[in-house]
Amino acid sequence: MHLAYCSDIEAFKKDQLRDQQWSYRFPGSGWITCLYSMASESGINVVSGDIAIANIASKKWHPKDVYVIQEMESKDGSNLLALGANAFLITCLEAPIYAPFFYDNIDRFANTCCGTISLCLYQAVAEEKRLQKGDFLVMSAFGGGFTWGSVLLRWWENGHKNS
């Protein structure tokens, strides 16, 4: 599995966000640096979109093994999707148009602040049974100022157990 982070910001290409010291110069980009670290510990490759395109072009990677995390309308993200990569997450929260795995419940509950992730997780598991054993989850939350938190995990249970 390969995750490709795609941005049209030239400074974010060539895997620059892998470097924690470098990425903290750009407020809001630290979560992707943490994703690089957490994913590599799990054996998942995370690269910038330009590197993913090069790996597909050189036939090192198959497009179906690449999952795209993109900023809205990024050229690299659009190119990867055109090559056959999988839409995974869009980082522009107002318009999750390319991300079939993006889960959002703001239309149902409005802004629930710190309860959003737990409510979405409950809905996805108990009400919609969308998570299966082995599925990967990226949960990210953003707060006031420059606060944020993210976790990458693999779901270990099939379905929902009634107590």
Query: Looking at 102, 120, 154, which one is the last position of a domain?
Result: 102
Where residue 107 sits, what CATH number does that domain have? 3.40.47.10
Does the pTM of the predicted model rise above 0.95? no
Last residue of one domain, picked from the residues 57, 86, 102? 102
Residues 13 and 49 reside in one and the same domain: yes
Show the DSSP H helices in the chain as ranges.
20-23, 30-41, 49-57, 75-83, 106-109, 116-122
Last residue in a domain, options 56, 75, 102: 102
Structural domain of 66: 1-102
Domain check: are 125 and 76 in the same one? no
- Could you read off the pLDDT tens digit of each residue along the chain, which spans 163 residues? 888 888 777 777 787 777 777 766 766 666 777 777 788 788 888 888 899 999 999 999 999 999 888 776 788 888 998 999 888 776 653 333 334 555 666 667 666 666 777 888 888 787 777 777 888 887 877 766 667 778 888 888 765 555 4
Give SS3 for 49. helix
